[in-house]
Amino acid sequence: MGARGELFTTQINLDNRSYFFNVKENRTGDVFLQIVESKNKDGADADRRQIAVFEEDMQKFLQGLTKSLDFVEKNRKDRQKANREKKAAKEAKYGKGASESGKKVYRIKSEKKSENPNDGIKRTGRVHVMSIKPETKE
């Protein structure tokens, strides 16, 4: 038995996270699985979260995990199928070249400029209401 009751340890490293799967035994002889997630932060200590699954509950835990993985796989396949159908419908409506080129067509605003750009009015493209004082005769 290793330090802190560790019987077996394996580690999985991802981009900014590491997962540790530790099989441990406590002082009373109970065996459990400890799953630790360690997430790196920018210039700070790692954020660590852990769960423990005891030996008598591991089969139920594994069944739940298996059901979740099956759902994720089925959902991924359903989304891929829906995307293929959506693409086929788009090609049927607009022609095959529209989706293959991958290019988007943008409308260019006219480059017509105002006649008097230095009249002191800020033009933002929104409608402005201005009140003009009538000139008084003196």
Q: What is the pLDDT of residue 121?
A: 63
Cβ atoms 90, 98 nearer than 8 A: yes
Task: Pick the more confident residue, 131 or 55.
Answer: 55
pTM of the model: 0.55
Is residue 2 predicted with pLDDT exceeding 90? no
Is residue 111 predicted with pLDDT exceeding 70? no
Token reading at 38: 């360690």
% the chain with pLDDT above 70: 66
Compute, in degrees rounded to 10, the torsion defined by CA atoms 63, 64, 66, 69: 180
Is residue 110 predicted with pLDDT exceeding 70? no
